[in-house]
Amino acid sequence: MNAITRNTLPVIGTQFEGGYFAGLFALNGETYGLIVAPRAQGELEGATWGEYGKDLPAARHFNDGLANTQAMAEAGSDLASWMLALDINGFADWYLPSRDELELLYRHFKPTNETNWVYRHGENPSSIPMGYPYTAEEPAQTKLDGFQADAAEAFADEWYWSSTQYSPNSAWSQNFCDGSQFNFRKVFELRARAVRRFKVTP
């Protein structure tokens, strides 16, 4: 396909590259675009992250969900294996978002009009532009009808897993009701939504 440049990027929420365009982030000095999967094909409910007590040093990346997911799958995570096996709209490179990638999804697709949890939640040095901690009002509910609460592509107002390990016992997650970020035990059952990425050239 033709190179994707900043000048050819669609607006947030546009159907693009197998899903919906979700914004930009930095990884290893390069700029990437993030795509969130359609809910019907790319979301799981009641998923556990992986084995409790098993340390995965290769799954500690805050902005490389693909590397994290591959490390999870190699360690036997059913969630990660499910993500990597997805083939949606002709694309087969889906993965579980890292903590910073997941934050970008909340920032752009917040489904509710609930007040945000503050105290530095939402700080995202990987997003482009850099994401600063939430205020009670920002981010506001998305203006995209298809992603507002109860719409076809909306995130549930529940906790979603990221692929970023916090400790051998827990991993980072984010609440899509108020934006709070927390580490839950890997054996807890949360939701998960697939993403993929593409490189953006200058």
Does residue 44 surpass a pLDDT of 70?
A: yes
Backbone angles phi, psi at 117, to 5 degrees: -80, 130
Q: What integer is the mean pLDDT of 159-183?
A: 98
Does residue 53 surpass a pLDDT of 90?
A: yes
| Number of domains present in the structure of the chain | 1
| Percent of the chain residues past pLDDT 90, beyond the cut | 97
Q: What is the pLDDT of residue 150?
A: 95
pTM listed for this prediction: 0.97
Q: Which of 37, 23, 15 is nearest to 85 (CA)?
A: 37
Q: Is residue 28 one of the residues assigned to a domain? A: no
CA 101 – CA 132 distance, rounded (Å): 14
Range of the domain at 174: 43-86+95-193
> Is 198 in contact with 10 (CB distance < 8 Å)?
no
Q: Is residue 121 one of the residues assigned to a domain? A: yes
CA 154 – CA 146 distance, rounded (Å): 6
User: What tens digit of pLDDT does each residue of 57-79 get?
Assistant: 999 999 999 999 999 999 999 99
Q: Is residue 24 one of the residues assigned to a domain? A: no
Q: Is residue 104 one of the residues assigned to a domain? A: yes
Neighbours of 30 (CB within 10 A): 10
Q: What is the pLDDT of residue 2?
A: 63
Q: Is residue 171 one of the residues assigned to a domain? A: yes
Q: What integer is the mean pLDDT of 8-29?
A: 97
Q: What integer is the mean pLDDT of 9-30?
A: 97
Q: Is residue 132 one of the residues assigned to a domain? A: yes
Q: Is residue 52 one of the residues assigned to a domain? A: yes
For the purposes of burial, counting CB atoms within 10 Å of the CB of 29, is it exposed (0-12), middle (13-18) or buried (19 or more)? exposed
Q: Report cis status (omega within 30 of 0) of the bond before 129.
A: yes
Q: What is the pLDDT of residue 202?
A: 87
Does residue 35 surpass a pLDDT of 80?
A: yes
User: What tens digit of pLDDT does each residue of 120-153 get?
Assistant: 899 999 999 999 999 999 999 999 999 999 999 9
Q: Is residue 175 one of the residues assigned to a domain? A: yes
Q: What is the pLDDT of residue 120?
A: 81
User: What tens digit of pLDDT does each residue of 79-123 get?
Assistant: 999 999 999 999 999 999 999 999 999 999 999 999 999 888 999
